[in-house]
Structure 1
Amino acid sequence: MLFSTGLIAVAAGGVQQAPSAVPVPMPKVGDPQTAEPPIVPDDTFNKALPPLSNDINAPLEPLSPIAMPTPAAPAEAVPPELTQPLPALQAFDSTPLVDVTVKDAKSPDIRYDTVIRGLDTLGLTGKFNGLSALRGGDGKAANATVVSARGHEDEDLAIRLMKSLGYYDGTAISTIEQIPGDTARVRAIVSATPGKQYKLGTIMVQAAPTLPAGLVQSLLPLRTGEAIEAERVQGAEANVALVLPQRGYPFAKVGQRDILLDDVAGTGDYTLPVDVGPRSSFGTFTTEGRLAFGAAHVGVLTRFKPGDLYDNRKVDDLRAALVATGLFSTVSVEPVRTGNIGPDGTEQVNLLVEQERGPARSVAVSGGYSTGQGIRLEGSFTHRNLFPPEGALIVTAVAGTQEQGATATFRRSNAGRRDRTVTFTAGADHSNYDAFDAFTTTFSGRISYDSTPIWQKKFTYAYGFELTGTNESVYDFGRGARRRATYFIAALPGQVEFDRSDSLLNPTKGYRLKLSLSPETSVRGAVRPYARTLVEASGYYPIGDSIVLAGRVRAGSIAGTDRDDLAPSRRYYGGGGGSVRGYGYQRLGPLDPNGDPVGGRSINEFALEARYRFGNFGIVPFLDGGNAYESVLPKATDLRFGAGIGGRFYTNFGPLRFDVATPLNPRKGDGKIALYISIGQAF
């Protein structure tokens, strides 16, 4: 109950005194009207006393043996069992009796109906039904005694529920009655009478002065005249306990409330003691346990500085960031008092980080299939802390029907700043698609400021460098045949993104804007600089609780060089699971005389989806469109459309996607059906 302690009821008008008793005259000693002869005369009594010696050190005289009276002859003989000595304790059988009830199969259970009266007007019937012993019995019992016992339990339940809304005079009674015309059933009735509802009277908070003044009172959303409802009172106290540590009082404690009821006025005076503790600011860090990294790197993960006013939301954020590193089996962050008072009058509070590092190595496997790309399996080995702090080595291998390769990556997470990542990658890859057959080696570096599941940022960026050597097959329109060519490419790719969606993997509202720009140069006999640009926007609009309309547009351009001077792998292509579904991977765009794609210098795309979710499953009809062009800028003509339907299975790491699509205006050589299986939404 809400008011299990500290609850005092006082009747109006003060304490009532019992009515005065009528005085009764007592008889006086020696009154001749009441004198009676003594039971033992004084002379006889004095003679019976033993003589006393004047020597106080003399020993006491021995007592004469007391003659025991001879018992009268019993009226009847005593049974011999009573005269026998008791048996030893070990001889007793201490096994408890087992209550074995043998039910007569011919006597069925009692069936009963449950009727609740008096709680509908209070809105308590639903809660009562969820906790009721009668309702929990499913309308049957072994006998009437069980039904009666359940009814008495429900009486107490009804009273507790009424008190939770301030009806402290409420009463309840349960009765059982026979249903007319039905001898096999009875009716169990619980009748509740709420009485009057008590209101809050005087509200008093017992707390030391705070800064700002009256902080505790402002955090207690209770007002005089409001009903004394358990949920409101408990919620108000929880708000005090929650917000005080966010306002510089990490050691605040809410005491036990006291409510003094006046049953005449129908009010209750409320008193809440609060120990606010010292007003505090952030100090330093200390670490204990089996460390994954030291206190200096803990400071990198914080969103506050020493001297800032204490806010436990920032402490919770630090704890979440530590967990997100994936380096701990357990980790905790607790404030510790120091007693050091700063210039602003706050006490410095240090944070104790207790670490228990966990396994740093992991193996991951993923796979997918799509028309045009075939089967693709990827496995990786990661050591997340090979170069502390948070210096990871990642080795990845790809095995597929049309792609094979391996890469090694060094990644430093939270590099000097939270959520900033420095990455260096070296890899070799073989890709064999309709558009090109390429053997590629790459060395790249990247600095990025990324969104994470803990903190999805509005603005993110990435920039770096890339050095690529690639030998690729290319169709030579001058010769009218394919040939192989080697390209050396240097690039400075960069990207910025503005994200106002509500999720990284499964957005349901908001929008995203992204711009990618990569100044590059291709060396093949001569230096040919150019720039690759790609702009993308997506939006998400919920309709009710189950449907999300999602849309995406994308446009790209390569300026500064001719298409035939570009390495085929650097050109733009349309089609595939992340582009225009219904067409094979890289199938959209200009074709050579053999019907194979050759890519272009520009691209435009759009996609529309209606994402309907029911439980952990979903259905997604979609329409895509777009194309790639030889020109520098994309055109609005010759668009290719694809439509289809997809299935979604939602997991805690993102949705699994199964899409089936067909081209609406296919060209010669385009398939009729395309299938895509992957993790995450299409966009």
Structure 2
Amino acid sequence: ESGVVLEAVTAGVNGWRAQGHAKAAVATQNLTADHAKQALSAEVTLNPGPRLRFGSLTIKGAERMREARVRAIAGLPEGAVFRPRDLERAASRLRRTGVFKSVTLTEDDFITRPDLLGITATLVEEKRRRYTFGAQIGSNDGLSLNAAWLHRNLFGGGERLTLSGDITNIAVQSGGADFNLGIKLDRPATFTPDTTASFAVTYGKMNEADYDADLFSATVSLAHVFSDSLSGKAGLSYDYAAITDPLGQSTYRALSLPISLTWDRRDSKTDATRNIYAEAEVKPFLGFGITDSGVRLKADLRGYKALGENRSFVLAGRVQAGAVFGASLLGTPRDYLFYSGGGGTVRGQPYQSLGVSVLRSAVGTQFQTGGKTFVGGSVEARVKMTDSIGLVGFVDVGRVDANSFFSDFGGWHAGAGLGVRYATAVGPIRLDLAAPVGGNTGDGMQVYVGLGQSF
């Protein structure tokens, strides 16, 4: 029963603090234990203290970071009524920059007259540079390698400069290896404490089964964190694609306005067991030259449910959808179109093996391109056998259509398989074996290795 009393007292103190009484505390307490009756009586009086406002923010440990930028990023509302959630948000904003190894916000022991409570931010800065490397392999998708170099706090204001590169589809069964290089500069606390401004430039070279492409993109964007679960992003992008396919050489140019929202309630980003994840993007684009104008839509919904007393059995489901409206198939940039097959859509089927074959080359033969609509679904049953070993059974399905959903000019395929998971500190190592169970785009067993659950 002492635990119940402690919970009640804690709830009472927290309730007063939530109303601005930061110094709420126990004033008196009288506890009487009756051992014969196994009963405990408690009389506790709380002293809420005065209602306080946020005072000045004192900063310690910001060696390379300008104090003015620390204040802007923290966004602590000095002069406003004290709220614990505002203190938590300020600490979260500072951690989100990636500049600091440790962030601690401490309330002053004493009140500054008349009703101000000062806050001290104790910071420990991270190393300025970080290198990351990654790899993933699939028997049909080939080998994928990626690397990035990050420079934190570039100009002393929390800016992040990232240079990244990846090579994907190495030794893929259809097409060839793809290359991508990118540079991105992020500046936190732009316009509001929760808004990050970014400028990114990317160059890529794709060697797909049905076309080759040189791609260039330059994007200016703003990303905003609305809450712990909801975030959004809006940008302005110029996209360029030089395509070589059976029609010959074509150049696509478009100015686009991608807008996206992400709702993430998962308990883990790499091994979720409950709640949902939802992401949606609307991308209007204005075409130049042979490029049509239109809008590209994309959505991704995932759900997780743990069952059993020890939550060792997890059901996971995923639905993906995408569509291009307003532009013709020929007038849509090739990298805006949709394919299915491979680790991100349908395991057991070759990478991007499902498209549509409605366009004809100069000699009259049909060739495959991506489609204007796509729907996909995945279901997984995950069973934890030991603290470190888990087994997974899964089924994936995907459909691509030339113009509208479920039309006569489209097709579908499916794959199913089994997998093993080995838990590590950074997420489970994934090994999946899958084979086609529907459609005619592939045969034989496919192998996938990566870090984290498949979704």
Other-structure match for 2:158: 390
Name 1:542's counterpart in structure 2: 306
Matched AA of 2:306? P
Q: How many residue pairs were aligned?
A: 438
Q: Deviation string for 1:8-48 (max 9, x for gaps)?
A: xxxxxxxxxxxxxxxxxxxxxxxxxxxxxxxxxxxxxxxxx
The CA distance in 1 between the partners of 2:165 and 2:25, in whole Å, is 55
Match of 2:296 among 515, 529, 532: 532
More helix by share: 1
> Structure 1 pair 523/269, CA: closer, same or farther in 2 (3 Å)?
closer
Select which of 89, 97, 100 maps to 1:325: 97
| Alignment pair present for 1:661 and 2:429 | no
| CA spacing shift, 1:546–1:265, aligned 2, 3 Å | closer
Equivalent-residue separation in structure 1 for 2:7 and 2:86 (angstroms) = 23
Which residue of 2 is the match for residue 520 of structure 1?
A: 285
Aligned to 1:146: none
Which shows bigger deviation, 390-399 or 349-358? 349-358
Structure 1 counterpart of 2:184: 409
CA distance in 2, matches of 1:274, 1:258: 12
Match of 1:44 in 2: none
User: C-alpha distance in 2, partners of 1:560/1:312?
Assistant: 49
Using the alignment, how far apart are the partners of 1:269 and 1:633 within structure 2?
67
Structure 1 residue 353 corresponds to structure 2 residue 124: no
Q: Larger strand proportion, structure 1 or 2?
A: 2
What is the RMSD of the two structures over their aligned residues, measured on CA atoms?
A: 3.4
How much does 1:396 deviate?
0.9
Pairing 1:271-310 to 2, within 5 Å after superposition: 277-302=49-74, 305-310=77-82
- Larger CA deviation: 375-384 vs 541-550: 541-550
What SS does the corresponding residue of 1:528 show, helix, strand or coil? coil
Structure number with larger C-alpha Rg: 1
Identity of aligned residues (%): 23
CA contact (8 A) 1:372 1:433 kept: no
User: Displacement, 1:504?
Assistant: 3.8
Residue 271 (structure 1) shift: 6.7
1:621 aligns with 2:399: no
Q: How does 1:46-61 map to 2 (within 5 A)?
A: none
CA distance in 2, matches of 1:358, 1:264: 57
* TM superposition shift of 1:317: 4.0
**Residues 434-476 of structure 1: CA deviation (Å, up to 9, x unaligned):** 132222222122222248xxx632x432221222222222122
Distance 1:444 1:377, change over 3 A: same
**8 Å CA contact 1:249, 1:279 repeated in 2:** yes
Once residues 442 and 469 of structure 1 are traced to their aligned partners in structure 2, the CA distance between those partners, rounded to angstroms, is 6
> Structure 1 355/275 Cα, relative in aligned 2: closer, same or farther at 3 Å?
same
The alpha-carbon deviation at position 292 of structure 1 amounts to 4.7
Alignment of 1:393-542 (within 5 A): 393-400=161-168, 401=170, 402-450=177-225, 456-457=228-229, 459-476=230-247, 483-524=248-289, 526=290, 528-542=292-306
> Aligned residue for 1:570?
336
Q: Distance in 2 between matches of 1:328 and 1:536?
A: 32
Q: 1:559 to 1:403 in 2, by over 3 A?
A: same
- TM-score, with length taken from structure 2: 0.83
Q: Is the 8 A contact 2:347 2:434 kept in 1?
A: yes
Q: Which amino acid letter does the alignment assign opposite residue 236 of structure 2?
A: F
> What's the secondary structure of 1:315's corresponding residue?
helix
SS in 1 for 2:90: helix
Q: Structure 1 residues 314, 517: closer, same or farther in 2, change over 3 A?
A: closer
Q: Which runs of 5+ in 1 are unaligned?
A: 1-228, 342-346, 477-482
State the distance in 1 between where 2:251 and 2:33 align: 91
Q: Is 1:643 aligned to residue 416 of structure 2?
A: yes
Question: d(CA) in 2 for partners of 1:286 and 1:405?
Answer: 44
- The Cα shift of 1:595 comes to 9.4
Paired residues of 1:302 and 1:314 also in contact (CA < 8 A):
no
Alignment-derived partner of residue 143 in structure 2? 375
**DSSP-derived class of the 1:563 partner:** coil
Which residue in 1 is equivalent to 2:173?
A: none
- CA distance in structure 2 between the partners assigned to 1:409 and 1:564 by the alignment: 31
Q: Distance in 2 between matches of 1:682 and 1:491?
A: 30
What are the ranges of 5 or more consecutive residues in structure 2 without an aligned counterpart? Answer: 171-176
TM-score (norm 1): 0.57
The alpha-carbon deviation at position 308 of structure 1 amounts to 3.6
* Aligned with 1:555 (options 298, 309, 321): 321
Is residue 579 of structure 1 aligned with residue 350 of structure 2? no
